[in-house]
Chains A and B, each alone.
Chain A
């Protein structure tokens, strides 16, 4: 009998339509796996079996009715009808938790559904639960969660990346075929790379952020994780589009071809012929692991072998991305996080006077990385420093964006680059030095600064750990990125590394194996 958790979402969709399985069976198999492994991985902050099974039963009823009616009714069902999905714990579900990985939202219950939650309900997806994350999405390793670190199933002593580490691991560990993350500087693409799955950061404005806990509002985007391009594209299709409740969601049409990527590997691979890729030389950054660079160069050769044209290009302001990002993002965060004051929601600490309550609530409610960023942002925006820091960074942001514009005007279909300069690292390795942690996003954050879509897709292993290939496109080119990603999948369909499952996944359910928080403590360097 097939293990249902090993199927891709599009394979599940086919079986639901042929009557070979039900949404309830799919939900049960995935809930069982998530519950079994969560002690060892800590990818989930909540698993809601009761709600998920009710949603699965409702999806089965919708599918049964559509099958009975056939024709247009069946054709109108979305590919995600009855398919399990996991949400990062900063997406609102009415009546459910949304901790954003922070103590300051412990006990908070969302009064309403996020836009994407509504959309997922509309298409009939089944929400299994909420995934672990770096506090307020600030982090690159998931070690900054107030609810403990997440282990990478490829090596349980390593991080899964962040901030959407729980969502990445939920998909990599076969707890869900699909999950939702957010990406402000790399928080979808980098954990996708480190766990060997597909993750897309859409164009700024592609997905409504109504009902999502905000980090940096000129950068944040919501996007999909999946185990292949077809599934990720179908999830984007379900959540994308204009929503009047988010004025930054753009009235740009969402192409239906997102649910029609080629099923055939050969057809997909043929789509690479004649495509023109730029290879930005600055993305081979100092500190890049040589074996990661080899995997990326191999992937480039594979693209060329499939008939694509790859030309080395320059994005001359790449080196300024880190400093620019770490002014703009903390500045916006310091303003967004002012709302956590213990007045309207969340715990209220202190002994009664207003100022004392603020200091105690925020001082004890936020973790170290969030405090660092609030401090940086408050400083960068404070009187006398605004021009030197925030305004300067916004001007450099213009230069970073122009670097990309020049290449789109030059006719490139996409850029191809590393997602992360390294594979997954050991717990604690970068916790004592915030700048070292920040540098792990050097290849992803310029894409957010420019508001562009980027996708990370698996391209092989380095000493047993996954390496991600990043494709970057012009604004609104997600469909093209997915086609190129699908092409790469097609041309590497029989590669040996594709068949490998996360090497230490089986250990996650072993009660004798220590949970991530104990592993991290054992490996810890100096505390942050």
Chain B
């Protein structure tokens, strides 16, 4: 597996919506490549016919009755919002224009 370049690291940071400094990007390039080197051991195993495990216990879908229950009060939900207007959370515009 090829290593991660500095540009790759910056691209992944953008995908993850992490604003990183140049110093952080440089340090992560070294650290992530060192960690990815550890992953190489997995290539030694033939897993062609092995099914993946996503979770470990025998679970069945348990669907509850479609009945409305009490929800949290609006005030309780909005109390943590960094910016609000009335009963709404205020966010920056995501579409162009003013």
Could you say which residues of chain A place their CB within 8 Å of the CB of B83? 348
Assess whether A434 is in contact with B31, with CB atoms less than 8 Å apart: yes
A397 contacts B77, C-beta separation under 8 Å: no
In the complex, per-residue mask of B26-45: 1 if CB is within 8 Å of any chain A CB, else 0 = 00100110110011011001
**CB–CB B32/A376 < 8 A:** yes
Q: A205-B57, A395-B51 are in contact. Are A112 and B82 (CB under 8 A)?
A: no
Which B-chain residue is minimally distant from A434 (CB atoms)?
B31
Q: A364: which B residues are within 8 A, CB to CB?
A: 19
A112's partner among B4, B15, B76, B93 (CB-CB below 8 A) is: B76
A270 to chain B, nearest CB (A): 32
For residue A363, CB closer than 8 A to chain B, the reply is yes
A375-B9, A395-B50 given as contacts; is B57 within 8 A of A451 (CB)? yes
Given known A218-B56, A375-B12, contact A323–B42 (CB-CB < 8 A): yes
List the A side residues contacting B15 at CB < 8 Å.
378, 382
- In this assembly, does B24 line the interface, its C-beta being within 8 Å of a C-beta of chain A? yes
Taking a contact as CB atoms closer than 8 A, the residue among B24, B45, B89 that contacts A344 in the complex is B89
Q: Which residue of chain A has the shortest Cβ distance to B64 in the bound complex?
A: A244
Query: Knowing A346-B80, A362-B19, A378-B12 touch, does A396 contact B42 (C-beta < 8 A)?
Result: yes
Q: Among A111, A355, A375, A392, which residue has its beta carbon within 8 angstroms of that of B77?
A: A111
Q: Does B68 contact A (CB under 8 A)?
A: no
> In whole angstroms, what is the CA distance A489 to B73 when docked?
49
CB distance from B82 to the nearest CB of A (A): 4
Interface presence of A507 (CB below 8 A):
no
In chain A, residues 365-415, which have Cβ atoms closer than 8 Å to a Cβ of chain B? 366, 368, 371-372, 374-376, 378-379, 382, 388-389, 391-399, 401
Binary interface profile of B, 57-98, with partner A (CB < 8 Å = 1, else 0)? 101001010000000100011011111000001011110000
Contact A396 B45, beta carbon cutoff 8 Å? yes
- Judge whether B80 and A388 touch: CB under 8 Å: no
| B82 pairs with A342, CB closer than 8 A | yes
Instruction: Please give, as numbers and ranges, the residues of chain A lying within 8 Å of B32 by CB-CB distance.
Output: 372, 375-376, 379
Query: Please, which residue of chain B has its CB at the minimum distance from the CB of A250?
Result: B57
Partner of A327, one of B39, B56, B76: B39
Check if B55 sits within 8 Å of A362, measured CB to CB: no
B80 in contact with A111 (CB, 8 Å):
yes
Is A341 a contact partner of B17 (Cβ separation < 8 A)?
yes
Known: A326-B38, A397-B52. A345 touches B82 (CB 8 A): yes
Q: Mark A333-352, 1 if CB is under 8 A from B, else 0.
A: 01000100111111110001
Output the nearest chain A residue to B15 by Cβ-Cβ distance: A378
- If the complex has contacts A343-B91, A399-B45, are A203 and B57 also in contact, measured as CB distance less than 8 A? yes
B80 and A375 form a contact (CB under 8 A)? no
**Do residues A399 and B89 form an inter-chain contact, with CB atoms below 8 A?**
no
Indicate whether A285 reaches chain B with its CB closer than 8 angstroms.
Answer: no
A288 in contact (CB, < 8 A): no
Assess whether B82 is in contact with A354, with CB atoms less than 8 Å apart: no
Which residues of B have CB within 8 Å of A388? Answer: 1
Point out the residues of chain B lying under 8 angstroms from A320, CB to CB: 41-42, 45
Residue numbers in B under 8 Å from A334 (CB-CB)? 16
Q: Considering the complex, give the chain B residue whose CB is closest to the CB of A439.
A: B38
A475 CB-CB contact with B under 8 Å: yes
What 1/0 flags go to A9-44 for Cβ under 8 Å of B?
000000000000000000000000000000000000
Chain A, range 454-495, C-beta contacts under 8 Å to B = 475
Task: Type the 1/0 row for A427-471, where 1 means its CB is closer than 8 Å to any CB of B.
Answer: 000000111001000000000011110000000000000000000
CB-based contact B38/A451 at 8 Å: no
In the bound complex, CA of A246 to CA of B54 (Å)? 17
The residues of B that contact A323 with a CB separation of less than 8 Å are: 38-39, 41-42
Tell which of A248, A346, A396, A451 touches B82, judged by Cβ atoms closer than 8 Å. A346
Asked if A475 and B24 sit within 8 Å, CB to CB, the answer is no
Q: Say whether A3 faces chain B, with CB atoms less than 8 Å apart.
A: no
- Which residues of chain B come closer than 8 Å to A360, judged between CB atoms? 19
List chain B residues, Cβ under 8 A from A450. 56
Question: Whole-angstrom distance between the alpha carbons of A435 and B81 in the complex?
Answer: 37
Contact of B39 with A389 in the complex, beta carbons under 8 Å:
yes
Q: Which residues does chain A contribute within 8 Å of B19, judged by CB atoms?
A: 358-360, 362-364
Given contacts A108-B80, A109-B80, A345-B82, A371 and B38 within 8 Å (CB-CB)? no
Query: Is A303's beta carbon under 8 Å from chain B?
Result: no
Q: Decide if B53 touches A397 in the complex (CB within 8 Å).
A: yes
Report the bound CA distance from A399 to B54 in whole Å. Answer: 13
A49, chain B: closest CB distance, angstroms: 24
Complex contacts, A50 vs chain B, CB 8 Å: none
Q: Which residues of B contact A434 (CB under 8 A)?
A: 31, 34-35
Check A205–B59 contact: CB distance below 8 A.
yes
B65: min CB distance to chain A, Å: 10
Residues of B within 8 A of A347 (CB): 82
In the complex, are the beta carbons of B41 and A319 less than 8 A apart? yes
Residue A509 is within 8 A (CB to CB) of chain B in the complex: no
Residues from chain A with a CB closer than 8 A to the CB of B42 are 320, 323-324, 392-393, 396
- Residues of A contacting B62 with CB < 8 Å? 247, 251
Whole-angstrom distance between the alpha carbons of A320 and B43 in the complex?
A: 10
**How does the 8 Å CB contact mask read for A240-254 relative to B, with 1 for contact and 0 for none?**
000010011011000
In the A-B complex, list the 4 residue pairs whose CB atoms are closest, starting with the nearest: A451-B56, A363-B19, A359-B19, A394-B52
5 pairs of residues in contact across A and B, judged by CB atoms under 8 Å: A218-B54, A344-B81, A372-B35, A379-B12, A395-B47
Given contacts A396-B50, A397-B53, A451-B56, 17 further A-B contacts (CB under 8 A): A205-B57, A317-B45, A320-B41, A323-B38, A323-B39, A326-B39, A338-B17, A352-B92, A359-B17, A362-B16, A366-B18, A372-B32, A375-B12, A378-B15, A378-B16, A382-B15, A435-B35
